[in-house]
Amino acid sequence: MAETNLEKPIKTCLECGEPLGAGRGDRKFCNDVCRTAYNNRRRKEPAPDDETSYFDRVEMPAIKKVYGVLLDNWSILYNIGQHDGTLLTLRDLLGHGFNLKYFTSELKGDDGKLYKFCFDFGYHITADEQVHIIYRREEIFIV
């Protein structure tokens, strides 16, 4: 009868290559330092064939939060401002969850009014708290 080798292959740490030794069978790292170093390195170096968008790979929660708020604001303006020149009250806009602190650009119009844009939708708030929503085909970037 043929001899069989019942020994399991020795598992090594994915970061430093040292043998893992005794412990859980699904361990991948010898300690927390190696686990943290491995994951930090992996996050910094996206795979070359990675086709996910930049914001899907971003690990910084602050950037994801701001981008999420901008998208929410855009969605509100898009759904309310279906017709160029839509007029509504500031209270109604805020009631939809619009956040006035986040916008992508500003533009002083020909009429002298300051419009804040969220991508391709802009708005101007009048002194009597009326909101005038406009649409531009292209996003406005002021340098």
pLDDT tens, residue by residue, 27-67: 888 888 888 888 888 777 666 555 655 555 555 777 888 88
How many C-beta neighbours within 10 Å does residue 23 have? Answer: 9
Q: What is the per-residue burial (b if ≥16 Cβ within 10 Å, else e) of 99-133?
A: eeebbbeebeeeeeeebbbbbbbbbbbeeeeebbb
pLDDT at 143: 42
Q: Higher pLDDT residue, 7 or 52?
A: 7
Tell me which residue has tokens 């170096």. Answer: 45
Q: For 90-100, what is the mean pLDDT?
A: 94
pLDDT tens, residue by residue, 112-141: 899 999 888 889 999 999 999 988 876 555
